Structure 1
């Protein structure tokens, strides 16, 4: 009984002493943390001593160490070429960034017993926390592609060259490319399982043969007889030089297009930007209901000519726009305008073989496009495209009065344009008999008025001029009682000639 009491007394004394020690340590710790929130002495992160540093200071010091740790050189052999990078660029990174907060909390967090134990460890050998690093296979694959893709030798499809005796087939070529799945899997295993965490890394990428999608056999399907062709005419002479230079340049850019099945082609993507540096000249274009010079003027005759050749070949047209006003080089609703980045001509190869586009610019005044391919259409079948004028809007007149000119003065500054609404029909024949009629689209072309300047200064009896007191500001029409009959006659003449007049276009 005595021995039990004695043991209880001893335990009580030890507990009291321990309690006072813990209390004293805790009180001191609390006081120090209030004075300054720094990491306690004796704390290390890997080999980095972070004693007496703030969280921000410790983070800066550890980041410098991590940068050195992840900047390990990596050399990858790709088909005999040494590609240099580093672990960081591959996605190798520090993953347990919470270790900084953990370092700050050593000796300050947890219950009383844990804080007491941390204090004893700090006084003896100190406490070392570990940095953790890792890399994700998916990220490594994405990064490796960015680094190494340019070193792949891609396969080349067979292609065509048009000669005076027909098409010459240029054979396909195999390629050699990185097998990213195999390469990344092997490199990942090496980094995470075999690497000593300090040496430079040397690794040979796994490669595989890349086969072209289209071979010489596919290209041999292309016939030397066009599936469709179309030509337009243009005026020649020094006053048309800029416009014709643009037509020639556009035809040269589009000549030799080889489009494989399913591929699309955008004219804007290949012709723009419309700048002098890109080979374009200033020439007449439609701007705000009138004609003004801008770079690339005339290119719409190129796109419209190609558009009609594509229709004849029955190639799929994905995107096409009409002009704001009518043009003279193709029928109504058979035009294809280009403007900025909002009007484009886009087509798609919807056949079973490649198609080849040829352009022929003749300085004498003609532009021709031909579309070659594998024509599987029945010889008894043919198509015709018919333009139907639904509505014609006669040219109106806009009169501007000029008080500095005598009443006998009258000058036409712009002839104006007839407005139209037109439809384009695709008519299909078999053995010469019509079997189908399909509406492709309806196009609307704005009417622009004839612009006339008239003088309003009158002469007095002595032959001196006097200013008409009537309004001399711009007006949409002149005094009906004085000019209606004269204008009606002029409008009929202008309207009749409008269809025959060449229009400047983009």
Structure 2
């Protein structure tokens, strides 16, 4: 066969194929329904809606809405399963959106393509899902009980002091139901129209304090102890709350600790109660009364630990629960207790209450042969005499192998001579 005949046959074949496509498309398009009629062979959520008008399809879906709404969906995690109706999960069907989707099915593209699409629909019978809306607030409320069953809080690493020895207890991981991911999983399951259980996504939650953060801690480097009366319940409650907050705090090398930052505002919304607080030498009612005693106990421990004191304020009158000059007054936004970890290793704060005693221990790397002594002197201030006030100077003496290495003046304070009870 010469080249001319071969070329002629190829052109003829092409023209014939195009003609067949046009004929088939034209025949198919001849039966393509109007814009307000759904293609035959289309189903929505198991119901045949092909050939119906938009109004007829809407009526059919609304008639079966109650039955569709009580459909169940199974949520599962490991070997535990929970059964919910779609209504309980805040899922409502969008009938207008579903009808619009059905109307558009197969009606995109050119005339010939619409005809071919009709043939495809007749063969495949598309099964469209019902469009839906999901109320996230209702969904979260519905599965809150599941979250309570699944969620496990991580446990931070901590220090145990027994029989004069330190033991580090490692952290443990927690887990938490990923609600945002669960919402997406349920949406996907509804679009697939299957009856398979939804395997809920649960995320791992890591502890904030790990055993690696406590590496090098081998003993107590400083202790503070104060006593309080339990007769004033509100004040005692504030002390318990403050102790609970600072207990377990880790201060890394080169890091500064702020008492106010740790506790936050002393407001009733945070659990603080109204109790006596010292203002200008007088006891008055104020939210958070008693918190200063916890700050004072921590300050004493910081002094004996040799930590660098960045900020500390005395009371106007000397508290009865501590030696002169060793108190620390705090007020959120006004007066803070801040100290810097200059030990070269991590510090762990252990704060507990037992028998009306606030005990704060700072754990760190004990350096053999080194110790700290804190002394206070009640002096006469010949240069700056202040009538009705006592003048207290506090020194810190650092020893190495029993010999004084250096001495520093920590503070010079003036107190009203009346001693407060609390």
For normalisation by structure 2, the TM-score amounts to: 0.49
For normalisation by structure 1, the TM-score amounts to: 0.43
Task: Find the structure with the greater CA-based Rg.
Answer: 1
